[in-house]
Amino acid sequence: MQKLSPDNAVAQVPTHVAIIMDGNGRWAKARGLPRVAGHQRGAESVRKTVKACRELGIGYLTLYAFSSENWKRPAEEVGDLMQLLRVYLRKELNELHANNVRVQFIGDRARLAKDITELIEHAEGKTRANTGLCLIIAVNYGGQAEIVNACRRIAIMVKEGDLGLDEISEETVAANMETAGLPDPDLLIRTSGEQRLSNFLLWQSAYSELVFMDILWPDFSKKSLLEAIEEYQRRDRRYGATSG
């Protein structure tokens, strides 16, 4: 395998990378800073990672920005995270659009403030025709809830006679997920050293390669991404079959 480097990326990069961006709070605590400082620094890592994915030719990047469980955090921290989302969308959208990035969101928008949903809709509309990197941002997202909602939609189709029980397949479920039409992640990265999915893309990550990194998200760089891709390339992806 040819070694990846910032200036020498090989063609065998994953089509879809998903990242659980963990460690902002610990990064701030280690420096005697408020948690919001970690989140602010983490936003810079988002910017760098989006740029790195574009440069490497990765087609899809999904970022776990705010889970449905994150509402349990202190109200002040939740407010800081929502404000960072506002700032990111206002500050970065024009550059994302200029770089042909298509922006999509997954997650329940019902609980989000009206101005945030308007910013989300504006970002999706403005970039809808772009053909470069697809940036998927998960906000108020939970994998279990997504599966439940897909089941509800399928049940309605069965009840109304539009779908037979024997017609339900894995493809039917996938078509009713929020990620319908998107490829499943090839590589799922979690920073901070924690080794769990935390309710992120549970259906979609069935055959993803999982890479857990000890680095905290604010310190994540293009070099970190390249290291994760190198690990991904060492894996033997068999999808349940035996190796040849």
User: What amino acid positions are annotated as catalytic residues?
Assistant: 22, 70
Collect all residues with Cβ–Cβ distance below 8 Å to 154 and sequence separation of at least 6. Answer: 163, 168, 172, 173, 176
Structure tokens at 169: 């397949």
Sign of the CA dihedral with 202 first, then 150, 172, and 117 last: negative
Smallest Cα–Cα separation from 61: which of 45, 72, 81? 45
| HEC assignment per residue over 127-185 | HCCCCCCEEEEEEEECHHHHHHHHHHHHHHHHHCCCCCHHHCCHHHHHHCCCCCCCCCC
Q: How many Cβ atoms sit within 10 Å of the Cβ of residue 103?
A: 24
- 100 vs 54: CA distance, rounded Å: 10
Tokens 């910013």 locate to 119
Residue 112 phi/psi, 5° resolution? -80, 150
Rg of the chain over all Cα atoms, to the nearest angstrom: 19
Residue 70 DSSP one-character state: G
**Single-letter amino acid code for the residue at 20:** I
